[in-house]
Amino acid sequence: MNLKTDVLQHPASIAIIGMSGRFPGAPDISTFWQNLIAGKDTITRFNPADSKTPGASSPDFVAARGVLEDVGLFDADFFNIVPREAERMDPQHRLFLEACSNALEDAGYVSHNYPGEIGLFAGCAMNTYLLANLCKDRAFIDEFTSNYQVGEFQTLTGNDKDFLTTRVAYKLDLRGPVVTVQSACATSLVAICQAAQSLLNFQCDMALAGGASITFPQLRGHIPQEGGLASTDGVCRPFDANAAGTVFGHGVGVILLKRLEDAVRDGDRIAAVIRGFAINNDGAQKAGYMAPGVNGQARVIAAAQAMAGVTADTISYVEAHGTGTPLGDPIEFVALTQAFRETTDRAGFCTIGAAKGNVGHLDAAAGVTGVIKTVLSMQNKTLPGLAHFSAPNPEINLGGSPFVFSSETKEWEANGPRRAGVSAFGVGGVNAHIVLEEAPALPAAAPARTEQPMCLSARSPKALQTAIANLATHLEANPTLNLSDVAFTLATGRRAFQHRFAFAADNMPSVVAQLCEAAQHSSFEQSSDARVAFLFSGQGAQFVGMGKALYESQAVYREAFEECADVARAEFAFELCDLIFAEPNEFSAARLQATRYAQPALFATEFALAKLWQSWGITPETFAGHSLGEYVAAALCGVMSARDAMRLVCLEN
């Protein structure tokens, strides 16, 4: 295989195979990407009178925040959570659970059916839902504190950071290492590093990683302080001369990771590859506890590049921490330059960007947001412009450095595979950095059949109708998708619920048309608990041409059929293919009625068809047959080999 990169041979390569998130102004990552390339700032600026926070009447109050829509909505029934428990659960926990489920679905995996172990590493922001919404009166507080270990423990588990990940593990049946990670603003990127390390240590087979940050009330601003983090005008301008601080916001992001070699083996859709990662701390080598440190940041970037086995001149983009503070941005720039200069003297080849200019600082979810943005940029070969950038901070020495800034969206050009760095630095000194590379070019799998079965299911008829309509919209907007891939994901990468709808089609327009028609219905099949049995007929069901289309299109069917045909050919001197697939006429029909030919032909057809069904995941609980059908059942049950069973069928005739 002629690939542009050595990433398949790199021992530390981790594949990103699924992503999910909700960001200010974007209910999903697709909308998030559209906002980025349009250069949108999705921070909400509101009337100070709408804020219930102290200080809102101050003339210095800045009414700006990255707000999430519909954070109160949650499908508790889908996750088998009772309403009382759901209403007492921190929305960070609720939305993070949804995001984890969506990330697995994005990758095409059902965690409940996955044979390996799935891990989870994540963290969230401080819980203000308990304080702002639940502790609404003294009676509740007294009840909560007095029954802390008994009656109100359920409220505790729904609100404390410690239980963010373990609830997801219980609801999604994750059996790998499940760890809550807390590293301030670096939380979600540290979680990604920890998940990658767990995979490299073979502690799990896949791992979810990310973070959530949703605090209340959402519509709250701030009163900026000199030298502080908060923006003086409600705009975040990373690395800009007019930078005056950051704007905080809310968001949730999750990615699903897998060892690259396993992802390639399993035919996963690989979004990007993590080649290297590193975590460290500034220690005391900085001006103060809250201050960023040049040396710590430089060391973590250089360490990640060293693990990746790449030189800095192959990295053409850096998604920076980029808080937009007059002090923090120059320090980050110096650290980046110091790290890059360890392996290259080139100038002006690497673009710096930061999502905070678009969505604000998402705290515990900031790192994973930067990763998702960078992966989307790689997939689209496009670099979104740096929002609100006009000229670099005067403390930044851009001339002769490896870096450039651009406020315009542009094509991502690179000599060789596209590579990027992503940074996240937590208040207190935690530094994390990863090196990403675009997904390797892998050959597409050939379709296994001409017509593809499309299978959809949901918990209710209304939910199924919505799912059908959503799929029709998606396929209509993406007509070049591989139809067999779509069918495979629907069949194996989605949980099977009670209300179901299925059909077969051989082209995308036909699929879309049938989906659009079905979306108008409100009545669908409801599954039962009926078990599957394979029943095999005796002589009399044969006809000329039976199984011909399957023989020509299905490799599994053809292989099983040929195993039987080899016996007939070697020991009984007749060709099953010539017999069964002959031109239909009176002679061929009469010949196939002769017992000497009919029974071997039926045995081969029934055996091959059963093998094909089994390869599609249809697992019978019992086999039964009549006459020669008993031999087919015996062969499939392992009572005898298919060759011996075929030999007996032929000998009896």
Report the 10 Å Cβ neighbour count for 266. Answer: 14
* In a domain? residue 161: yes
Domain count, the chain: 3
Are residues 219 and 309 located together in one domain of the fold?
yes
Whether 321 is catalytic = yes
Q: Tell me, what CATH number does 470's domain have?
A: 3.30.70.3290
Cβ(17)–Cβ(268) under 8 Å? yes
Q: Do residues 482 and 420 both lie within one domain?
A: no
Tell me, yes or no, whether 408 and 367 share the same domain: yes
Q: Which of 373, 256, 271 lies closest to 322 in space, CA to CA?
A: 373
Q: Which of 93, 222, 250, 321 is catalytic?
A: 321
Over its C-alpha atoms, the chain yields an Rg (Å, rounded) of 30
Q: Is 100 a catalytic residue?
A: no
Surface-to-core class of residue 447, CB atoms within 10 Å of its CB (0-12 exposed, 13-18 middle, 19+ buried)? middle
Q: Are residues 521 and 537 in the same domain?
A: no
Instruction: Please tell me which residue in 30, 146, 627, 641 is annotated as part of the active site.
Output: 627
Question: How far apart, in whole angstroms, are the C-alpha atoms of residue 5 and residue 254?
Answer: 27
Query: How do 622-625 and 533-536 pair as beta strands?
Result: parallel
Of 481, 499, 526, which closes a domain? Answer: 526
Is 405:392 a contact under the CB 8 Å cutoff?
yes
Do residues 416 and 480 share a domain?
no
Does one domain contain both 487 and 609? no
Domain check: are 551 and 478 in the same one? Answer: no
- The answer as to whether 1 is a domain residue is no
Residue 572's CATH number: 3.40.366.10
pLDDT at position 138? 63
Q: Which of 377, 119, 410 minimizes the C-alpha distance to 271?
A: 377
Residues 329 and 459 in one domain: no
Element (H, E) at 266: none
Containing H/E element for 440? Answer: none
- Active-site choice (100, 185, 236, 564): 185
| pLDDT tens for each residue of 196-241 | 999 999 999 999 999 999 999 898 899 998 888 899 999 999 999 9
The pLDDT assigned to 149 comes to 44
pLDDT beneath 50, residues of the chain: 1-3, 149-151
In a domain, 6, yes or no: no
* DSSP per position, 492-524: HSS---SEEEEEEESSHHHHHHHHHHHTT----
Catalytic annotation present for 135: no
Domain boundary among 438, 464, 485: 438
For helices 366-380 and 187-200, angle between their N-to-C axes, nearest 10 degrees: 70
Domain boundary among 467, 492, 526: 526
Q: Which residue in the list 10, 222, 250, 361 is annotated as catalytic?
A: 361
Domain containing residue 315: CATH number: 3.40.47.10
Q: Is the domain of 258 the same as that of 308?
A: yes
How far is CA 293 from each of CA 246, 351, 353, 490, rounded to the nearest angstrom?
18, 22, 20, 48
Whether 7 is covered by a domain: the verdict is no
Q: Is residue 612 part of a domain?
A: yes
Does the residue 2 lie in any domain?
no
pTM score: 0.87
What confidence score (pLDDT) does residue 133 get?
76
Other C-beta atoms lying within 10 Å of the C-beta of residue 484? 16
Q: What is the DSSP letter of 134?
A: I
Catalytic annotation on 361?
yes
Asked if residue 176 and residue 157 are part of one domain, the reply reads: yes
* 362 and 503 together in one domain: no
Q: Please indicate, yes or no, whether residues 541 and 468 belong to a single structural domain of this protein.
A: no
Is 398 within a domain?
yes
**Does residue 447 lie in a domain region?**
no
Domain that holds residue 558: 533-651
